[in-house]
Structure 1
Amino acid sequence: MKLKIKMGIDLLMTALLLCLMAYQVTGQKLHEWFGTGMLVLFLLHNILNIRWYGSLFKGKYTLLRAMQTLINISVLISMLCLGFSGIVLSRHIFAGLPIQGPMATARTMHLAASYWGFVLMSIHLGFHWSMVLGLFRRLWSRKKTPATFVWLMRFIAIFIAGYGAYCFHKENIVSYMFLKQEFVFFDFEQSAVSVFAGYITMMGLWVFIGFYTVKGLRKITSQSRRKE
């Protein structure tokens, strides 16, 4: 039951993340509501995984565990920055609260943290993508997945990652992440389908990178253990 709740929260967070990135489609008010929902779900996600924090200083750190820990902590920092800056910048949901802050700093923080958060959360999802694949395998009625289907899925994954890399470069995301450009110029004439397709493929790129990074590190670890 707890696993199903976790999976449901993660699914909702993934959907909200895409909606949050599509600001030119949703507008300011919906963006704030989606952001508030994301923050609440993120807090629930952390409460349900509270044991992870207790194990931080226990056990041996492999390269894979160190990378996972770094990504998780980075996601936490980006979400805290987004939560604070989002409340300060709010024009609707939190506008009536006696919360003040430096608007210029909050705007810059929100810009950088939103794109870093998008990349880091996508990598985090990629690190756990094997669980998603395992769920699909359990739902798949056949005992063995046909090789043709497996290679078809791999081809689609490569295509999505490739197009995501193109969109990532085209949208100049790196300049926002490192604040080389401090203002985002949204194309409000772009169709909703095009906007969401772009962000889905960009997410797919980082999920792809995260998933195969984990696979590669596990393979290296298993080979080193065999040599020992």
Structure 2
Amino acid sequence: MVRSFLLQRVMLPSAMLALLLVSLAYWWLDNVPHEVFGTGLFALLCWHIYANRTWFKNLTRGTYDARRTVRVLLHVGLIANMIVLLVTSVVISKSVFAWLPIPDSVYLREIHWFAAYWVIIVTGIHVGLHWERLRTSLVNVLGVRQTNPVVRAALLAIGAAFALQGLASFEKLGVWTKLTFNYSLDFWDFTASVAPFFGHWLAVFTLPAIVTHMFMAIWKLTSRRAARPVRTGS
């Protein structure tokens, strides 16, 4: 049970994130490794979808309140983003899928890069939506108690540190310019350093995860308070 959880909920998503981050370093890896890592990413994505196929089966079951509707819409956005990234990857391929009789397109290359940057954001949101379950499972595996004030303080401190670094990395990498489909002359100098590039993108990934988790937690808390019956005096 624990092994299955670690494989499907921790190791598999971690491997997918690692491949996504490495794929962003196109100007360091060059084209062939970039396409190989990207292909590996989509192979693991297929496994991830199969492992979570029950979620798709349950879409037509139960009732939809505002929170469930938002969660489903955000997941639909992630799926659409991944489809765009996959289709453009195949069309513009110069190595892995170069044998396909598909004409190249400069415009699709731009859309591919645009979609890739947005994937970082939407996958971060995806993690944020499931963070409560992931955190609960992790602390159970590690044998610690979430109610422990030291553990709670440590988790909050780590989250705050990642959020602050995410804001700094967002500015450092010019992420907003990339997300709005605008051109930037700022490129990472891989001849000077490599590791910080991945550290910055990891921080950018964690920022929407933290913001989404906080937003959904506050929304859940306020909904519970609003649903409580109002006590009247005797």
TM-score norm. by structure 2 comes to 0.86
Q: Measured at CA, do residues 191 and 80 of structure 1 come closer, stay the same or move farther in structure 2, by a change above 3 Å?
A: same
Structure 2: 5+ residue stretches without partners: none
Larger radius of gyration: 2
Greater shift, 40-49 or 118-127, is seen at: 40-49
CA contact (8 A) 2:88 2:108 kept: yes
CA-atom RMSD in angstroms: 2.3
Match of 2:211 in 1: 209
Task: Measure the CA separation in 2 of the matches of 1:184 and 1:73.
Answer: 32
Q: 2:22 matched to 1:19? A: yes
Superposed, which structure 2 residues align to 1:120-139 within 5 Å?
120-139=122-141
Residue of structure 2 aligned with 1:170, choices 172, 178, 185: 172
Q: Measured at CA, do residues 124 and 187 of structure 1 come closer, stay the same or move farther in structure 2, by a change above 3 Å?
A: same
Match of 1:52 in 2: 55
Match of 1:76 in 2: 79
Residue of structure 2 aligned with 1:195, choices 170, 194, 197: 197
Task: Measure the CA separation in 1 of the matches of 2:100 and 2:179.
Answer: 29
Q: Match for 1:54: what amino acid?
A: K
Q: Measured at CA, do residues 127 and 57 of structure 1 come closer, stay the same or move farther in structure 2, by a change above 3 Å?
A: same
CA contact (8 A) 2:92 2:104 kept: no
Q: Match for 1:60: what amino acid?
A: T
Deviation (angstroms), 1:220: 1.9
Q: Match for 1:125: what amino acid?
A: V
Size of the alignment, in residue pairs?
227
String of CA shifts for 1:198-220, please: whole Å, max 9, x gaps. 01111111111121122112112
Match of 1:10 in 2: 13
Superposed, which structure 2 residues align to 1:117-156 within 5 Å?
117-143=119-145, 146-156=148-158
Looking at both structures, which has the greater relative contact order when contacts are Cα pairs under 8 Å and sequence separation is at least 6? Answer: 1
Match of 1:61 in 2: 64
Q: Measured at CA, do residues 111 and 223 of structure 1 come closer, stay the same or move farther in structure 2, by a change above 3 Å?
A: same
Residue of structure 2 aligned with 1:161, choices 160, 163, 166: 163
Residue of structure 2 aligned with 1:90, choices 86, 89, 93: 93
Instruction: Give % identity.
Output: 24
Structure 1: 5+ residue stretches without partners: none
Greater shift, 163-172 or 58-67, is seen at: 58-67
Task: Measure the CA separation in 2 of the matches of 1:194 and 1:37.
Answer: 23
Match of 1:221 in 2: 223
Q: Measured at CA, do residues 143 and 202 of structure 1 come closer, stay the same or move farther in structure 2, by a change above 3 Å?
A: closer
Task: Measure the CA separation in 1 of the matches of 2:151 and 2:215.
Answer: 23
Q: Match for 1:159: what amino acid?
A: A
CA contact (8 A) 1:82 1:110 kept: yes
Q: Measured at CA, do residues 47 and 91 of structure 1 come closer, stay the same or move farther in structure 2, by a change above 3 Å?
A: same
Deviation (angstroms), 1:117: 1.0
Match of 2:107 in 1: 105
Q: Measured at CA, do residues 75 and 184 of structure 1 come closer, stay the same or move farther in structure 2, by a change above 3 Å?
A: farther
Q: Measured at CA, do residues 69 and 91 of structure 1 come closer, stay the same or move farther in structure 2, by a change above 3 Å?
A: same
Task: Measure the CA separation in 2 of the matches of 1:114 and 1:49.
Answer: 23
Task: Measure the CA separation in 2 of the matches of 1:45 and 1:51.
Answer: 11
Deviation (angstroms), 1:127: 1.0
Q: Secondary structure of 2:30's partner?
A: helix
